[in-house]
């Protein structure tokens, strides 16, 4: 939550800062966002595998939060786009290092019959930070008279508070007795043990990700309507408020009725959101699209994590989350570049229509897999 407050203060303003303050194109924004997220995804593969090899999660998570914290002062100090790209790159490396070990740690702690609720709660708290961050960005932009750099300086504090919390307060449970030791988690033999159901979940997640490009384009969509710069972060406030409220109850409900049918609902919400964002000519319709986008995230992201956790052996959860995030990170790179290119060449409408089309493909793909995914969970995932 604390790191998301810090990051979202910056990220809520960064697309506009790049385009308005530094003269970047929308295609450049798409490339920067895509490369940043793909970098995080690639790093997660190795950090997740390393956490399986050493049998520990916390130290790697702390290293990742530390890297993210030390990059935050670069944003107010950066004199050019190149510096911002470098800061985003290192920040995403930090996210990559912490991501898979942290998610595996959640899975290690959570009881098997409450795993959907556990990931939903993690997603809700994480997103509450993403909700509060843009609100603070709005207040700080007003306080500092649209001075981006001063706002970025304030974002440094919660980042270092997050680092202190993971280092001094978070406790890792003891490794269960008798759990198999993994020497080379990325070997072909170990990856084969992840199982066919897991890889099907990964394919579905990749299709999901192609349908939901970077939220930077939501910000640019609102800014294009002439909204004051100070109020642009309301996009992420609204989206993340809905996301935060929805994620936990949906996760808890999935423990009772299954994950996949709720993910199909989430895909339907994304299609409707994209249509509102593509076809609406006023702020009211765009606002509805943004809120529906947040609802779709609440219906899907925590459930995908729960499916990853429960379809693989416990000793390979770090590797599983790492590979999952690698594939979805590459998909996000493609999605963001495609979105930026479509926007620049054809306009905003086609960016969101393309997102709706990818979401429809994902829905068609997941329907025949529903029973196989729900019934094929690994017996030892517990």
In a domain, 380, yes or no: no
Whether residue 26 is contained in a domain is answered as: yes
- For residue 319, the enclosing domain spans 2-170+186-375
306: its two tokens: 């729960």
The answer to the question of residue 181 being in a domain is no
In a domain, 29, yes or no: yes
Residue at 178 is within a domain: no
Q: Does residue 293 form part of some domain?
A: yes
Determine the Cα angle at 293 with ends 302 and 24, to 5°. Answer: 110
pLDDT at residue 159, as a whole number: 94
> What span, in angstroms and rounded, lies between the C-alpha atoms of 135 and 203?
35
3-state secondary structure of 278: helix
Give the pair of three-digit tokens for residue 111: 């009881």
Q: Please report the pLDDT score of residue 379 as a whole number.
A: 44
Greatest alpha-carbon span in the chain: 61
Q: Residues with Cβ < 8 Å from 196, sequence gap 6 or more?
A: 376
The structural domain count of the chain equals: 1
Q: Looking at the domain assignment, is residue 175 inside a domain? A: no
Tell me, what CATH number does 350's domain have?
1.20.1250.20
State the pLDDT at residue 171: 81
Q: Please report, in tens digits, the pLDDT of each residue of the chain (382 residues total).
A: 899 899 888 877 877 777 776 767 767 777 776 677 667 767 877 888 888 888 888 889 899 999 999 999 888 887 777 787 788 788 888 888 888 888 888 888 788 788 888 888 888 888 888 778 878 888 898 898 888 889 889 999 999 999 998 889 888 887 777 778 888 888 888 888 888 888 888 888 888 888 887 777 888 888 777 777 667 777 877 888 899 899 999 999 988 888 888 989 999 999 999 999 888 877 888 889 889 999 999 999 888 888 888 888 888 988 999 889 888 878 877 888 888 888 888 888 888 899 899 888 888 887 776 666 666 544 434 4
- Reading phi first (left if > 0) and then psi (alpha if -120 to 50, else beta), residue 80 is in beta
Pair 4, 127: CB distance under 8 Å: yes
> Could you give the CA distance from residue 81 to residue 375 in angstroms, rounded to a whole number?
49
Assess if residue 176 is contained within a domain: no
pLDDT recorded at residue 218: 84
Q: Read off the tokens for 196.
A: 């066919």
Tell me, what's the pLDDT at 375?
60
Q: Coil, strand, or helix at residue 74?
A: helix
**CB-count burial class (<10 Å; 0-12, 13-18, 19+) for 150:** middle
Tell me, what's the pLDDT at 182? 84
- Residue 219: per-residue pLDDT: 80
Torsion of CA 229, 231, 236, 242, to 10 degrees: -160
Distance of CA 374 to the CA centre of its chain: 23
Concatenated DSSP letters of 73-98: THHHH--SHHHHHHHHHHHHHHHHHH
Query: What does the alpha-carbon distance between residue 172 and residue 163 come to, in Å, rounded to a whole number?
Result: 16
pLDDT at position 382, please?
A: 43
Rounded-to-10 torsion of CA 162, 165, 166, 171:
-160
Which pLDDT score is estimated for 33?
67
């Amino acid at each position: 939550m604390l790191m998301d407050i810090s990051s979202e203060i910056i990220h809520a303003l960064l697309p506009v800062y790049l385009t308005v303050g530094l003269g970047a194109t929308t295609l450049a924004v798409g490339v920067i966002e895509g490369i940043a997220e793909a970098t995080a995804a690639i790093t997660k593969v190795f950090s997740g595998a390393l956490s399986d090899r050493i049998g520990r999660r916390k130290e790697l998570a702390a290293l990742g939060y530390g890297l993210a914290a030390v990059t935050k002062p670069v944003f107010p100090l950066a004199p050019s786009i190149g510096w911002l790209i470098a800061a985003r790159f290192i920040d995403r490396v930090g996210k990559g290092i912490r991501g898979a070990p942290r998610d595996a740690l959640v899975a290690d702690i959570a009881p098997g019959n409450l795993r959907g609720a556990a990931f939903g709660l993690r997603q809700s708290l994480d997103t509450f930070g993403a909700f509060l961050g843009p609100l603070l960005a709005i207040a700080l932009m007003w306080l500092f008279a649209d001075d981006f750099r001063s706002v970025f300086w304030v974002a440094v504090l919660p980042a270092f508070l997050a680092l202190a919390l993971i280092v001094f307060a978070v406790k890792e449970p003891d490794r269960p007795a008798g759990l198999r030791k993994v020497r080379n988690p990325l070997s072909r033999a170990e990856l084969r043990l992840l199982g066919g159901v897991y890889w099907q979940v990964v394919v579905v997640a990749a299709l999901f990700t192609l349908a939901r490009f970077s939220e930077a384009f939501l910000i640019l969509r609102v800014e294009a309507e002439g909204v004051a710069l100070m109020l642009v972060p309301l996009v992420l406030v609204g989206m993340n408020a809905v996301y935060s409220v929805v994620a936990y109850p949906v996760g808890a409900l999935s423990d009772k009725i299954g994950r996949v049918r709720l993910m199909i609902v989430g895909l339907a919400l994304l299609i409707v959101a994209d249509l509102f964002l593509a076809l609406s000519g006023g702020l009211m319709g765009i606002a509805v699209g943004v809120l529906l986008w947040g609802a779709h995230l609440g219906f899907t992201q925590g459930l995908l994590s729960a499916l990853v956790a429960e379809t693989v052996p416990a000793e390979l959860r770090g590797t599983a989350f790492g590979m999952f995030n690698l594939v979805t990170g590459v998909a996000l790179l493609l999605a963001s570049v495609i979105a930026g290119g479509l926007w620049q060449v054809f306009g905003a409408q086609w960016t969101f229509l393309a997102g709706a089309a990818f979401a429809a493909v994902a829905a068609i793909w997941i329907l025949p897999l529903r029973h196989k995914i729900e019934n094929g969970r690994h017996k030892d995932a517990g």
